[in-house]
Each structure stands twice: as C-alpha cells, then as structure tokens.
Amino acid sequence: MAAAFPEIEKIRYEGPKSKNPLAFRWYNPDEVIEGKTMAEHLRFSVVYWHTFRGTGSDPFGPGTMLRPWDDGSESVENAIRRVKVAFEFIEKLGAPFYAFHDRDVAPEGATLRESHKNFDAVAKVLKDEQDRTGIKLLWGTANLFSNPRFMHGAATSSHADVFAYGAAQVKKCLEVTKALGGENYVFWGGREGYQNLLNTDLKRELDHLAKFFHMAVDYAKKIGFTGQFLIEPKPKEPTKHQYDSDAAACLNFLRSYDLLPYFKLNLETNHATLAGHTMMHELEYAGMQGALGSIDANTGDLLLGWDTDQFPTNLYLTTECMLAILKWGGMGAGGVNFDAKVRRESFEPIDLFYAHIGGMDAFARGLKIAAEMRADGEFTKFVKDRYSTWDSGIGAEIESGKATFETLEAYMLEKGEISPHKSGRQEMLENLFNRYF
C-alpha cells in the first residue's frame, strides 16, 4: 500500500529555536525530568475516533475532511486500510500509544455475531501493526452510545435486552483489548443518564450500572485481563444529566457500590469545564484519593458551551495539569490521550500532524515548567506555611483526634479573640506563576 503521508518524515525534536512547523520544539522524548524521561511522563496517545474516523460533520452540514485513503464504505477492507494509515501516522508522529472504541476500528455488522467477526479480523491487523511498530494500546472501549438501540442508555437502559447487548459488546471488547495488550479499559458514560426524571427510575438505573461494572470486573478476572479499569466523567451531552458527572460523583458511586478498588478515573479537560470545574480541580480531587488514572487531553472554548474537543495549546492549562499529575506521582498505566479533533475547516491530512505536534509540545512545555516550579518549591512552601498552625499545638491535637468540642471550647475561652491570619496572597502567587513563562 502506498504511503498516506508521503511528504511527511518522522517528526523530530529540533529545540525551541526551530521554525519548522513539522518539528517538536519542546517534546524531547529522551530528556529526563524528575528522574523519568518525557516519554515516560507523558505517554502520548492518539485516538482512533476523531483522528481516523472524524469526518468534520456538524448539525448544519456533512463532513469536510479530505482522507484519500478512505473510500467511506463500512467494509472490513476499508477498515484494514485505515489501520495501516493510522499506524503510519502514529509512527511518524512518534506517539507511543493509541486508543479506540470497538466500532471505530471495525464496522458493525448486521448481527452481533457478524460484528464480533469484523472486530476479530481488524484486531488481527492491529496486532500485526503493533508488533511491526512497537506502538501500544493505551486503552480500548466499547461504543455503547451510537447505535439507536442505545437511545435510552446501555447499562442504564429501561430495556433489559439492551443491557444484555451492551454486556456482550464489552465482553468481546475486553477480550480484544487483552489480546492487544491494552494497558487500561475505559468506560465513558455515553447515554448513561437521563433527560427527564418523570420517566426515569434513578435508583434502579444506578443499581444496574453498578451490576454492569461488577460483571466487567468479574469477567476481567476470569480471562486474566490485568489492565486498569477507568471511568471517564462528563456532566452533560448527550443526556441532560450524565450519571458520571464529575470526579466526585464517580468516586461516590464507585465507593457506594464496592467498586472503588477496581477503578480509577480518566479525566478530560473539556468535561471538567462543562462540570463547572477546572481540570486542575478534577486532577487534584482524583489524585488525593489515589484515583488518578489517565487523561483525555483537549480543551473547550470559553465562548462555546459544549464539548468542542479542541487540541490543547494553552500553556497555563498544560502546566496546571502537569503540576497536579507530578504532585500525585504520575498516572501509572495511563497517559496523555488526545481526545481532540481538528476543526471542520482544517480538512487536509497534514492538519492532523500540526494538531498533535502542538498538543505534544504544549504538554512537554507544561511538564518542564511544572518541574521548574516544583524544584524552586515556592508554591509548596507557601501552602505549607499557610497551614502551619496545624503542625503543632491545637491544630495537631485536632488532626490527631485528641481534641473534642469541649477541649476546643475551653481553649478558646482561655485564648479570647483571634488575630487576623496570614494573607492569601493570591495576586502575588499569580504573578509568581507568570514568572515561569
């Protein structure tokens, strides 16, 4: 097969002075930061759905993307040709991982049996290409939201047969993910949520969702799949209320249904902002509970209120992400997965390179800046000092559990009024943050 990107050579690191738009200026895979290489910290991953299946269609018009290798058919032959293109792209880019939904890589058949067969046929080629290039599968996932049968959700559908269908699909996807050495398995809520409580049995649906996850955990054990399970929070779109709305909601759900030991979170920037949080908040919240699994790296648009899935280029954002990720000891088996799509107007194949190079450079630079901030330690020192009354005296008594309401009342009656505590110094700290750019 002829190359899909014949004019593109392997993308190389050329350093910050380079003006070559097809080179990395910051992502230098072998550069060591805090004892690990950039490649080990960042574990970049290319998504199959936006990058190789995205057409650029929107509610107002059809696709615009020029993809000369794709004949637009839902045939296994076309799917296999696409695999070769995907691996040529990922190899030239130098990303070590990729991620897919079952239905991105192989066409859905007329029956479940036929879909399984198509998936197996394409998985064989994926395996060959992985072996040829050394590119690995960051995670697999099943698409339980596109087909009309999932209109009411999958695991939370009002129809039991739909639950069964979703289970069959996840069973197969777990088998394929295992066969391809996938390091994680992701559940994004899809249509697991509701539009209206008048037609919804909320408790029953959540009980079903938990049952579904327990079945997945049991089956993974049975077949020896040892990858990390991840849940990807998102608050709205497609349903008005998604059950996995944010990190806190997911962790509460997992804890309530005895699922916490088996899951971590895959946090997505644009989902965090839709939930009214910053990405750093979501990372901190998951990190402090040992649940930081992986990230879907993208960004929204301040002026648009939906999931625009743009490539991340804002260095403040990537620095904040990397500060939180480094603070909580990294993402383990996770990675920086570009769940992002080029704009509808960026229709040429080469735009896929510009987009990923920009995202990788933005994260590499964020990593470098975050590591510099940590080495200087000024923020850490400030925060430590701000809470210093907890290190001894009454603060230490409260933290260690020695104090009670009675001892605290006695303490305050004795002490009298409190003199103003230290300034929060937000403006000074924001200026300090800026010093690194």
Q: Does the annotation place 378 within a ligand binding site? A: no
Amino acid at 328: W
DSSP state of 189: -
DSSP letter for each residue of 331-373: -TT--EEE-----TT--SHHHHHHHHHHHHHHHHHHHHHHHHH
Q: What binding mask, one character per residue, do residues 377-416 give for ligand 3MF by CB under 6 A, x or -?
A: ----------------------------------------
Give the Cβ contact number of residue 97 at 10 Å.
22
Q: Does the annotation place 208 within a ligand binding site? A: no
Q: Is residue 56 within 8 Å of 66, Cβ to Cβ? A: no
Which one of ligand 3MF, Mg ion, none interacts with residue 177, CB within 5 to 8 A by kind? none
Nearer to ligand 3MF, 102 or 175 (CB): 102
Query: Of residues 82-101, which lie at the interface with ligand 3MF (CB under 6 A)?
Result: 101
| 297 forms part of the interface with ligand 3MF (CB under 6 A) | no
Nearest Cα to 309, choosing from 213, 193, 170, 188? 188
Nearest Cα to 169, choosing from 151, 152, 150? 150
| 339 forms part of the interface with ligand 3MF (CB under 6 A) | yes
- Can the peptide bond before residue 233 be classed as cis, meaning omega within 30 degrees of 0? no
Nearer to ligand 3MF, 41 or 234 (CB): 234
Give the Cβ contact number of residue 245 at 10 Å.
20
| 243 forms part of the interface with ligand 3MF (CB under 6 A) | no
CB of 274 to ligand 3MF, least distance (A): 9
| 232 forms part of the interface with ligand 3MF (CB under 6 A) | yes
| 104 forms part of the interface with Mg ion (CB under 5 A) | no
DSSP letter for each residue of 380-436: HHHHHHHTGGGSSHHHHHHHTT---HHHHHHHHHHH-S--------HHHHHHHHHTT
Q: Does the annotation place 268 within a ligand binding site? A: yes
Q: Is residue 274 within 8 Å of 236, Cβ to Cβ? A: yes
| 241 included as an active-site residue | no
| 339 forms part of the interface with Mg ion (CB under 5 A) | yes
| 192 forms part of the interface with ligand 3MF (CB under 6 A) | no
Q: Does the annotation place 34 within a ligand binding site? A: no
| 268 forms part of the interface with Mg ion (CB under 5 A) | yes
Task: List the beta bridge partners of residue 101.
Answer: 141
Q: How far apart are CA 153 and CA 296, in angstroms?
A: 22
Q: Is residue 171 within 8 Å of 142, Cβ to Cβ? A: no
Nearest Cα to 294, choosing from 227, 347, 236, 209? 227
Q: How far apart are CA 357 and CA 334, in angstroms?
A: 20
| 169 forms part of the interface with ligand 3MF (CB under 6 A) | no
- The single residue among 150, 185, 188, 229 that binds ligand 3MF, judged by CB under 6 A, is 188
| 391 included as an active-site residue | no
CB of 396 to ligand 3MF, least distance (A): 44
Q: Is residue 192 within 8 Å of 156, Cβ to Cβ? A: yes
CB of 234 to ligand 3MF, least distance (A): 5
Which one of Mg ion, ligand 3MF, none interacts with residue 49, CB within 5 to 8 A by kind? ligand 3MF
Q: Which of 41, 50, 102, 104 is catalytic?
A: 104
Nearer to ligand 3MF, 246 or 339 (CB): 339
**What residues are labeled active site?**
101, 104
Residues that bind Mg ion (CB under 5 A): 268, 296, 307, 339
Residues that bind ligand 3MF (CB under 6 A): 49, 101, 141, 186, 188, 232, 234, 268, 296, 307, 339
Annotated binding site for Mg(2+): 232, 268, 271, 296, 307, 309, 339
Annotated binding site: 232, 268, 271, 296, 307, 309, 339
